[in-house]
C-alpha cells in the first residue's frame, strides 16, 4: 500500500478491511458488520481516519480507539444467536437473542430532549460519554461520495420528470457552489443530459472538480461562460461549465442579457453566513480579511448579498425558471433580512423528493463484501435487467459505471421504491447462493429515506398534515426493522441538521445466499420502505395512499 499520509492513531494495517470469501468472524452477518465498520474508516472513504471521523464534520464510526478495538474483538467472538449493543460508538454488552434477530443494535447521540443541544452534547463528548453518529457514519454504511452524486442526480431526475418530460436534454440549469456536496451538481445535471452553469468564487474548487471529471469546463469570464452554456443548450449537448464568479454576479448578468434559463438553485453554504457565503461586494481576499477583522460588518454584507441573491432568484422564477432551495437555508437568511416573499420558491424535499418518498423510493445501496469490483458489475447488470422500464435508473447505472470511482469496498447506490427493493434484495441473495458473486452482499440505505427520519427543517419540512416534528415514525421504523431481522439497526439524533433537529434510523441487511436470509430480506426490504409509504399515506398524500393500497400496506 503506497499510503503517503501518516497517521498518529489510525493503524493502516491493523484496521484494514478484510476482503475475499473467507470469514474472520463466526458468521457472515458479523463479518459484514466488521467489514463495513472498517470500510467506513478506510482512508479512501473517511474524512479523518485519525479522529475516527467518517464524514459530515464530526460524524464518527466509533467513540474512540479503545472502543473501536473492543467492537472489533466483540464482533469476532459474537455468536450467530447473540446481539452486540453499541451506545454512542462504544460496545456495552453482548446479549442472547436468536438467529433471526439483528446481530448489532446501535443508539447514537440520543439525549433527553431538554438537554438535546450542542452545549450539553459537547460536555458529554469531552467526558468520553458520547460521540456524534451523523447518519451512515455511526451506523456503518457510509460508502463515500457516490451517495451525494446519486442523491443530487435523483433530485434533477425528478425535476426532469416533473417539468421536462423525463430529461434535461436541451435545458439550462443554473446554480452556485462546488463544495463537498455542491460539487455533485454539474455531474448530476449532465448525467440527466442537461447543461449546467455553476458559479464558484474559489478557483481551486473548480479545478478539483475538473480533475475528478465531475465538471467539464472552466471559464473565468461570465459572458463567455453564458455563451458556451447557451450554445450547448441549443445543440442539445450535455455540458457542465464552472465559472469563476459570485453567484449574484452570474444571476445579474443572466437577467441583464435576458437569457432563458430552465432550472435554478444554489449550494453555497448559506447555512453558515460567516464562513460559507461570500458577499458579492467583496473579493475572496477582502472576504478573508474582513471575516477576522470585523465579524459584524462581514455578516451585514453577507446578509445584504443573500437577500439580493434570493431577489434575483425570484426574478428568474418569474421569468419561468423552475426554482428551488437546496437545503442551505438561503431563503431563511433572506427572510431574516426582511425579504417577505423569500419562501415563494419551494424546498427541494417537498417539491421533488417527497413525491418519491410517497412511492417508498429512497437511497438503496449495497456493497460487495468480496472487495471485488466485478461483483458490483454483476449486480449492476442484474438491476438493469430487473427494472428495464425505469429510464432514469438505466441512465444512472450506465453513467455511474463510467464516472464514479469506487472508494473502499466496491458499492452502488440507486433509488428504488416499494416492491423494487425487496425484488432486488432477493435477487442479490440468489447471486450469492449460486456463486455468481464471490462473497455475500451487504444492503443498506441512508437515514435520509422515506420512512426513517423526522427532520422538520429538511426531510419532513412542510408535511401536508403538520406532522413535521412527530418522531414516532423513525422509532417505529427502527423497531420494525429489528423485529423483521435486519442485520444491524441504529437510531440516531442530529444527523446533517444538528443536535435537536432530527431523529433518524438506519438499517443494514446481509444477503448471504441462505434461505433464512431470503426470508429476512423479504420482510425487511418490504417493511422498511413500507413504513415510509404508511407515514406519508397517514399524512394524506394521495400517491402514498395509492402505493399503500397497491402493496397491501393498509390496515
Q: Measured between alpha carbons, how far is 242 from 225 in angstroms, rounded to an integer?
A: 8
User: Contact at 8 Å (CB) between 190 and 239?
Assistant: yes
Find the binder of ligand NAD among 17, 70, 246, 452 (CB under 6 A): 246
The minimum distance between CB 104 and a second copy, in angstroms, equals 10
User: Contact at 8 Å (CB) between 197 and 158?
Assistant: no
User: Contact at 8 Å (CB) between 328 and 268?
Assistant: yes
Most distant pair of Cα atoms in the chain: their distance: 70
> Which of ligand NAD, a second copy, none lies near 30, with the C-beta cut-off 5 to 8 A by kind?
none
User: Contact at 8 Å (CB) between 245 and 201?
Assistant: yes
| Residues 147-186: x where in contact with ligand NAD by CB under 6 A, - otherwise, as a string | -----------------------------xxxxxxx----
Q: Any catalytic annotation for residue 414?
A: yes
The catalytically annotated residue of 25, 245, 358, 414 is 414
Q: Which is nearer to ligand NAD, 152 or 487 (CB)?
A: 152
Q: Measured between alpha carbons, how far is 85 from 499 in angstroms, rounded to an integer?
A: 22
Q: Is there binding between residue 476 and a second copy (CB under 8 A)?
A: yes
Q: Which is nearer to a second copy, 81 or 284 (CB)?
A: 81
Question: Among candidates 224, 236, 154, which has minimal Cα distance to 189?
Answer: 154
The minimum distance between CB 98 and a second copy, in angstroms, equals 6
| Residues 269-298: x where in contact with a second copy by CB under 8 A, - otherwise, as a string | ------------------------------
Q: Is there binding between residue 414 and a second copy (CB under 8 A)?
A: no
Q: Is there binding between residue 209 and ligand NAD (CB under 6 A)?
A: no
> Which of a second copy, ligand NAD, none lies near 442, with the C-beta cut-off 5 to 8 A by kind?
none
From residue 3, alpha-carbon distances to 7, 128, 497 in Å are 10, 30, 33
Asked whether residue 277 is marked as a ligand-binding residue, the answer is yes
Q: Is there binding between residue 400 and a second copy (CB under 8 A)?
A: no
Q: Is there binding between residue 391 and a second copy (CB under 8 A)?
A: no
Residues numbered 66 to 95 that lie near a second copy (CB under 8 A) are: 70, 74, 83, 85, 87-88, 91-95
The minimum distance between CB 528 and a second copy, in angstroms, equals 10
> With CB under 6 A as the contact rule, which of the stretches 194-202, 215-223, 367-375, 467-475 interacts with ligand NAD?
194-202
Q: Is there binding between residue 312 and ligand NAD (CB under 6 A)?
A: no
Find the binder of a second copy among 11, 14, 57, 113 (CB under 8 A): 113
From residue 480, alpha-carbon distances to 363, 471, 474, 505 in Å are 19, 15, 10, 11
The minimum distance between CB 547 and a second copy, in angstroms, equals 13
Q: Which is nearer to ligand NAD, 210 or 518 (CB)?
A: 210
Q: Give the number of residues in contact with ligand NAD, rule: CB under 6 A.
A: 26
| Residues 484-503: x where in contact with a second copy by CB under 8 A, - otherwise, as a string | xx---x-x-x-----xxxxx
| Residues 454-473: x where in contact with ligand NAD by CB under 6 A, - otherwise, as a string | ----x---------------
- Record the cell numbers describing residue 165, joined without a space: 418530460
State CA 384 to chain mean position distance. 22
- DSSP character for 347? B
The minimum distance between CB 183 and a second copy, in angstroms, equals 29
User: Which residues have a Cβ under 8 Å from the Cβ of 100 and sit 6 or more positions away?
Assistant: 485, 516, 520
Question: Among candidates 440, 515, 523, which has minimal Cα distance to 27?
Answer: 440
Asked whether residue 505 is marked as a ligand-binding residue, the answer is no
User: Which residues have a Cβ under 8 Å from the Cβ of 272 and sit 6 or more positions away?
Assistant: none
Q: Which is nearer to a second copy, 49 or 474 (CB)?
A: 474
Residue 466, Cβ density class (10 Å: 0-12 exposed, 13-18 middle, ≥19 buried): exposed
Own/partner long-range contacts of 544-552 (Cβ < 8 Å, ≥24 apart): 544/357, 544/358, 544/359, 547/358, 547/359, 547/360, 547/417, 547/418, 551/360, 551/418, 551/419, 551/526
- Record the cell numbers describing residue 253, joined without a space: 448578468
Q: Which residues are annotated as a binding site?
A: 56-57, 134, 180-182, 200, 205, 246-247, 267-271, 277-278, 326, 496
- Active-site residues, by number, are 414
For ligand NAD, the binding residues (CB under 6 A) are 176-182, 199-202, 205, 246-247, 267-271, 276-278, 326-328, 458
Amino acid at each position: 500500500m503506497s499510503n503517503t499520509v501518516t497517521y498518529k492513531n489510525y493503524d493502516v494495517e491493523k484496521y484494514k478491511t478484510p476482503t475475499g470469501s473467507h470469514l474472520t468472524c463466526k458468521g457472515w452477518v458479523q463479518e459484514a458488520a466488521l467489514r463495513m465498520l472498517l470500510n467506513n474508516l478506510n482512508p479512501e472513504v473517511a474524512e479523518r481516519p485519525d479522529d475516527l471521523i467518517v464524514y459530515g464534520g464530526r460524524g464518527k464510526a466509533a467513540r474512540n480507539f479503545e472502543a473501536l478495538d473492543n467492537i472489533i474483538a466483540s464482533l469476532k467472538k459474537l455468536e450467530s444467536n447473540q446481539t452486540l449493543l453499541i451506545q454512542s460508538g462504544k460496545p456495552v454488552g453482548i446479549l442472547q437473542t436468536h438467529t433471526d434477530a439483528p446481530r448489532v443494535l446501535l443508539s447514537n447521540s440520543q439525549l433527553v430532549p431538554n438537554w438535546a443541544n450542542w452545549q450539553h452534547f459537547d460536555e458529554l463528548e469531552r467526558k468520553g460519554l458520547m460521540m456524534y453518529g451523523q447518519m451512515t457514519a455511526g451506523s456503518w454504511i457510509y460508502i463515500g461520495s457516490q451517495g451525494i452524486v446519486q442523491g443530487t442526480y435523483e433530485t434533477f431526475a425528478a425535476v426532469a420528470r416533473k417539468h421536462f418530460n423525463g430529461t434535461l436534454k436541451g435545458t439550462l440549469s443554473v446554480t452556485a457552489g462546488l463544495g463537498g456536496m455542491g460539487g455533485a451538481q454539474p455531474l448530476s445535471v449532465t448525467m440527466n443530459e442537461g447543461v449546467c452553469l455553476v458559479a464558484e468564487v474559489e478557483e481551486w474548487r473548480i479545478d478539483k472538480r475538473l480533475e475528478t471529471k465531475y465538471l467539464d469546463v472552466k471559464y473565468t469570464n461570465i459572458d463567455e461562460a453564458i455563451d458556451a452554456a447557451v450554445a450547448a443548450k441549443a445543440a442539445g449537448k450535455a455540458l457542465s461549465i464552472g465559472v469563476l464568479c459570485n453567484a449574484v454576479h452570474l444571476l445579474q448578468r443572466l437577467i441583464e442579457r435576458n437569457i432563458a434559463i430552465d432550472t435554478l438553485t444554489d449550494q453555497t453554504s448559506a447555512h453558515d453566513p460567516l464562513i460559507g457565503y461570500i458577499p458579492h461586494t467583496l473579493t475572496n481576499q477582502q472576504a478573508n480579511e474582513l471575516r477576522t477583522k470585523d465579524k459584524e460588518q462581514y455578516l451585514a454584507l453577507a446578509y445584504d448579498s443573500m437577500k439580493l441573491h434570493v431577489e434575483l432568484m425570484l426574478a428568474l422564477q418569474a421569468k419561468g425558471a423552475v426554482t428551488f432551495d437546496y437545503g442551505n437555508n438561503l431563503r431563511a437568511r433572506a427572510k431574516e433580512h426582511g425579504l417577505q416573499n423569500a419562501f415563494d420558491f419551494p424546498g427541494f424535499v417537498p417539491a421533488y423528493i417527497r413525491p418519491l418518498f410517497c412511492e417508498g423510493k429512497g437511497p438503496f445501496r449495497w456493497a460487495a463484501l468480496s472487495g471485488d469490483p466485478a461483483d458490483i458489475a454483476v449486480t449492476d447488470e442484474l438491476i438493469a435487467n430487473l427494472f428495464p422500464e425505469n429510464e432514469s435508473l438505466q441512465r444512472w447505472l450506465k453513467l455511474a459505471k463510467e464516472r464514479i470511482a469506487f472508494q473502499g469496498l466496491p458499492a452502488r447506490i440507486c433509488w428504488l421504491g416499494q416492491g423494487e427493493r425487496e425484488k432486488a434484495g432477493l435477487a442479490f441473495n440468489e447471486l450469492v447462493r449460486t456463486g455468481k458473486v464471490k462473497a455475500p452482499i451487504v444492503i443498506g440505505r441512508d437515514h435520509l429515506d422515506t420512512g426513517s427520519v423526522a427532520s422538520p427543517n429538511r426531510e419532513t419540512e412542510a408535511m401536508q398534515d403538520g406532522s413535521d416534528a412527530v418522531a414516532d415514525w423513525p422509532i417505529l421504523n427502527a423497531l420494525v426493522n429489528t423485529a423483521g431481522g435486519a442485520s444491524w439497526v441504529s437510531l440516531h439524533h442530529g444527523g446533517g441538521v444538528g443536535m435537536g433537529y432530527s431523529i433518524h434510523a438506519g438499517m443494514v441487511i446481509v444477503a448471504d445466499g441462505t434461505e433464512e436470509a431470503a426470508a429476512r430480506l423479504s420482510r425487511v426490504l418490504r417493511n422498511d420502505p413500507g413504513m415510509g409509504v404508511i407515514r406519508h399515506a397517514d399524512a394524506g398524500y394521495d400517491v402514498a395512499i395509492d402505493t399503500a393500497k397497491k402493496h397491501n400496506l393498509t390496515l
